Structure 1
Amino acid sequence: MNAIENITIGHTERLRKPVGYTMLANLVNIVPFCLSIEAINVIFRAFDGSGMPLDTQRLWTIFILLVVYVFVMALAERASYRANFRGAYEMSAAGRVSLAEHLRKLSLGFLSRRDPGDLSSMLITDFTMAETGISHHLPQLMGALVMPVLAFLGLLWIDWRMAVAMFIALPLAVGILLGSTYLQYKLSGKQIAAKINAGNRLEEYLQGIRVMKAYNLLGDKFVRLKNAFAELRRACIRQEALLGPFILLSVTLIRAGLTLMILCGTYLLIGGDLSLLTFVMFLVVGSRVFDPLTSALTNFAEFRYFSIAGGRILALMNEPEMQGSKEAPESGDITFYHVSFGYQKKQVLHDVSVTLRKNTLTALVGPSGSGKAPC
């Protein structure tokens, strides 16, 4: 739940439309799949040795329904596309403006403690990652769970043994993926920190390139940029090399459900406890149902990575703004009333009263030690 709050920058209500329309589109896409199963059922009855003729009228009806349903699917996908991408980019645009306005109200002490490249990275890179998570991963993750859940409930009603064999490895796969959460947050945090540091060093290099060229500090003389990109490369390799096996193992376990279902179905078919038509139907459903599950597992891993960027933005947005009870002065004049100043025992200013007018240029002229700097 924290990951969802992070990636939406604290506004989880923004997910209602994209997630809702994506789930609706996935539900709409189930109907052609059911019609295809019915077409296979009609063809199978004509060639199962029962002597029934091929019901061509029913096949033509299914064909016409599929053709008409293409337009229904297009409308559903269009609504889902608009809700996902338009909502994500509107959120990103409003979030960038809100963050910039919030930065304007923070104290100078806070801004001086943060690297300028870090703040610019939040406005650009982190918001890009957050909008990608909202538009490409989270709605698809939620929607990809619809078909497997409905398939499991429907197949459970047809033959619970085959349904359990198909999805028996799912809890183990999800457990392995959840078990890698701590490792992913640790490695992803280091990779994001290395990426920000590399961006800071690049910005430092570009801003100071005139000075470096003037003093011949190019090439091997400036190693901070080289070391920053080397550390970024190592962090990216560590992240991919250590997290990749967990995702691949989870996907392999999910795919193993199809093999277990085939073995279970073969055993039941030989024993006469399962009809051939039911076995074929499970094969057709099984060949299709694991694709959204694989997509869901992959999207879940990427979604957790993008949520780290959202967490950084949310932490900055929660920084207290600089408060004050006094109104800003209407005039910009600077006035000294009876000011006296001296160095040790030597007095250089004595009972000085002067007003420096707004929008004017005032020159302080005098020898060294005459009190120009204190003024």
Structure 2
Amino acid sequence: MNMKQWFETVTLGQPGQYLRLLRWSLFDSIVMSVPYGLMLGAVYYLLVPLESPGTPLPVQNLWMFAGGLLAQFIAYNFIRQKTYLDACTGFAGIIRDSQITLGEHLRRLSMGFYSNRDAGNLSTVLLRDYQTIGDLAQQLLPQVAVILIRFALAIAVLSTFDWRMTASVFLVIPLALPFAFLSLRKMGHISADLQKSQQEVSSRILEYVGGIQTLKAFNMAGEQFESLKASFERQRSSAIRLETGAAAPVSMLGRFVLNCGMGIVMLMGAVLLTRGELHPFYYIAFLILTLTIYEPVLTLFTFIADFARTRRSGQRIADLFAEEPLTEPEEQEIPKSTDITFDHVSFSYGETEVLHDISLCFPARSVTALVGPSGSGKSTITRLAARFWDPTGGEVRLGGANIRHMKADEVLERVSIVFQDVYLFHDTIEENIRMGRANASLEEIIAAAKTAACHDFIMALPNGYRTVVGEGGSTLSGGEKQRISIARALLKDAPIVLLDEATASLDPENEVLIQQAISALVADKTVLVIAHRLQSIMSADSIIVLENGRVAESGTHEALLAREGLYAHLWEEQSRAGSWQLGQ
């Protein structure tokens, strides 16, 4: 990564806007350097009586310098306030815009992207990596600007005094740089290990909290905590290695070399003074200005570790932006109806093909059930119909329109989905149901909840529809979450309904009510239903039996039983399982 690419990365693709924010830091650096010049002027006039005894002290000039300091103080406070506001709000705005853009980008990625990543990985990028970038933008880059400004001012001023002293000031800086570059390379590897361990910690925490009920049930909470503790220890070790293995040596070596520079300046000045080739004032000026030059360089050395981390963080953010989203056509096709057609469709998860040249038709305003053993491709078909993925071969058409030629939002606008694994957000029940239609009134939400047979249990909660559910719906039972999901789909009232075993988590007492709610949901709609309990889809217009990613059979319930194939075998197995009793 060259310097231009690095700067593009750490400014989150907005280098121009960041440079506009950085200019106040440059003004800040210039104004902050003014007192040194005023102090040198005051020292010069204070030396006049010493150099020419009997000469009066130029008090008027000293008052002018005092006035200059007052003016500098006023200007510095104004510019410093502007610099602080830009640092806190200006680049925060850049980070916010980038996070929103990344969120929109992630929304347009296929579900295949998420199947290869865990929540800890993405949360680390969205939170920790952006924080790292923000810290660098507010500290390191302004510090570099300060160094450059001070270098330019120092060279301009010092070279007018004595070129030999100027050379002695800047001689040691190039000697210190190789240590910084060598350490930066070393820290690049250590930083990668640290960020990897940080991702692991985030993933372990989410896994531990999310699975605490299962861990307790199997008496593994303590054992699992040991693995979480081990991930914390790996993170700690990586952080220590980063600081002690690279950052600390750089700081110590850099400080040692620059301290040697101070010694060289003092020695060179002493030699020239004894020869009468250097004015005492110039000697004092070099000693004072040398400190102002070396100080930001020393500070920069302490940021080397941050630089390494930032480069990795910026690259990880850039890698997410580089992920290819689902294609969005400039001119999309408009569906003429709600029938769904799979024309020689194949689909692969990575290198594993799970659908093999499937051709299917789901007629408009009909109910089609998908059945078959686990892993036969049922869920994949419904996800392809909703354009969560694009097929790797063949076409999926909605109302005659190839869904590749439709925007993903336009496809989803026509689809309601009730998943087997329901996820509710950490918000009120009202807002979770309102996700079905953002502009729905409370009365419409209540009507949908009543149809989905969840109004009564909602009203029994402490705050009714204003009750906040835990993340993922953790404060509700599986059946309650499922009914809220159905209410959400009822509120959306889309012409296509995808049901992924919608009654799987329901108790027998409410199953009849939910079946009635589903009947209301699917009336006059195109319905694809995944079913494991075959009794629930006996009345479907068509049943498609899948096996190993291929269509094994299709037809009505009676026709498939008469064929005595896979469906009849599944029916017989479920009938036998239904008569099983404990102790038999």
TM-score normalised by L of structure 2: 0.57
- SS, match of residue 321 in structure 1: coil
Does residue 370 in structure 1 map to residue 373 in structure 2?
no
CA distance in 1, matches of 2:151, 2:193: 35
Does residue 19 in structure 1 map to residue 22 in structure 2?
yes
Counterpart contact for 1:115–1:200, Cα < 8 Å? yes
Of 134, 139, 146, which aligns to 1:136? 139
Residue 117 (structure 1) aligns with? 120
Residue 271 (structure 2) aligns with? 267
CA shift for structure 1 position 350: 6.3
Of 50, 71, 76, which aligns to 1:73? 76
CA shift for structure 1 position 340: 6.5
CA distance in 1, matches of 2:251, 2:68: 39
Does residue 299 in structure 1 map to residue 492 in structure 2?
no
Of 548, 551, 556, which aligns to 1:352? 556
CA distance in 1, matches of 2:181, 2:37: 33
CA distance in 2, matches of 1:342, 1:131: 51
CA distance in 1, matches of 2:544, 2:218: 45
Residue 363 (structure 1) aligns with? none
Residue 34 (structure 1) aligns with? 37
CA distance in 2, matches of 1:214, 1:106: 36
Of 295, 312, 318, which aligns to 1:314? 318
Which range moves more in the overlay, 293-302 or 93-102? 293-302
Residue 210 (structure 1) aligns with? 213
CA distance in 1, matches of 2:272, 2:231: 60
Does residue 149 in structure 1 map to residue 152 in structure 2?
yes
Distance 1:350 1:95, change over 3 A: closer
CA shift for structure 1 position 96: 1.6
Counterpart contact for 1:212–1:218, Cα < 8 Å? yes
Residue 178 (structure 1) aligns with? 181
Higher relative contact order (CA 8 A, sep 6+): 1
Residue 44 (structure 1) aligns with? 47
Of 227, 231, 237, which aligns to 1:224? 227
Does residue 325 in structure 1 map to residue 405 in structure 2?
yes
**Letter of the 1:196 counterpart:** Q
**Letter of the 2:571 counterpart:** S
CA deviation vs aligned residue, 1:83-107 (integer Å, no higher than 9, x gap): 2221111112122211111111111
CA shift for structure 1 position 339: 5.5
Residue 371 (structure 2) aligns with? none
CA shift for structure 1 position 170: 0.5
CA distance in 1, matches of 2:544, 2:198: 53
Distance 1:318 1:171, change over 3 A: same
**Letter of the 1:195 counterpart:** Q
CA shift for structure 1 position 3: 2.7
**Letter of the 1:66 counterpart:** L
**Letter of the 2:110 counterpart:** S
TM-score normalised by L of structure 1: 0.87
CA distance in 1, matches of 2:82, 2:183: 35
Counterpart contact for 2:31–2:72, Cα < 8 Å? no
Of 10, 15, 18, which aligns to 2:13? 10
Which range moves more in the overlay, 267-276 or 185-194? 267-276
Which range moves more in the overlay, 234-243 or 283-292? 283-292
Residue 459 (structure 2) aligns with? none
- SS, match of residue 272 in structure 1: coil
Counterpart contact for 2:12–2:95, Cα < 8 Å? no
**% identical aligned pairs:** 25
Structure 1: unaligned runs, 5 residues or longer = 354-365
Does residue 334 in structure 1 map to residue 515 in structure 2?
no
CA shift for structure 1 position 326: 3.8
CA distance in 1, matches of 2:553, 2:278: 106
CA distance in 2, matches of 1:163, 1:340: 85
CA shift for structure 1 position 140: 2.3
CA shift for structure 1 position 254: 2.2
Residue 64 (structure 1) aligns with? 67
CA distance in 1, matches of 2:64, 2:317: 54
Distance 1:14 1:184, change over 3 A: farther
- SS, match of residue 145 in structure 1: helix
Residue 284 (structure 1) aligns with? 288
Counterpart contact for 2:124–2:198, Cα < 8 Å? no
Please state which structure has a larger fraction of its residues in helix: 1
CA shift for structure 1 position 262: 0.2
- SS, match of residue 556 in structure 2: strand
- SS, match of residue 31 in structure 2: helix
CA distance in 2, matches of 1:72, 1:216: 66
- SS, match of residue 24 in structure 2: helix
**Letter of the 2:125 counterpart:** M
CA deviation vs aligned residue, 1:25-84 (integer Å, no higher than 9, x gap): 111222222111101111111223533111111111211221122111111112222222
Counterpart contact for 2:191–2:308, Cα < 8 Å? no
Structure number, greater radius of gyration: 2
CA deviation vs aligned residue, 1:285-339 (integer Å, no higher than 9, x gap): 2233221222233335423322321211111011100222146284202268766
**Letter of the 1:352 counterpart:** T
Counterpart contact for 1:9–1:311, Cα < 8 Å? no
CA distance in 2, matches of 1:238, 1:34: 42
CA distance in 1, matches of 2:241, 2:527: 58
Structure 2: unaligned runs, 5 residues or longer = 328-403, 415-494, 497-525, 529-539, 558-566, 575-584
CA distance in 2, matches of 1:372, 1:11: 62
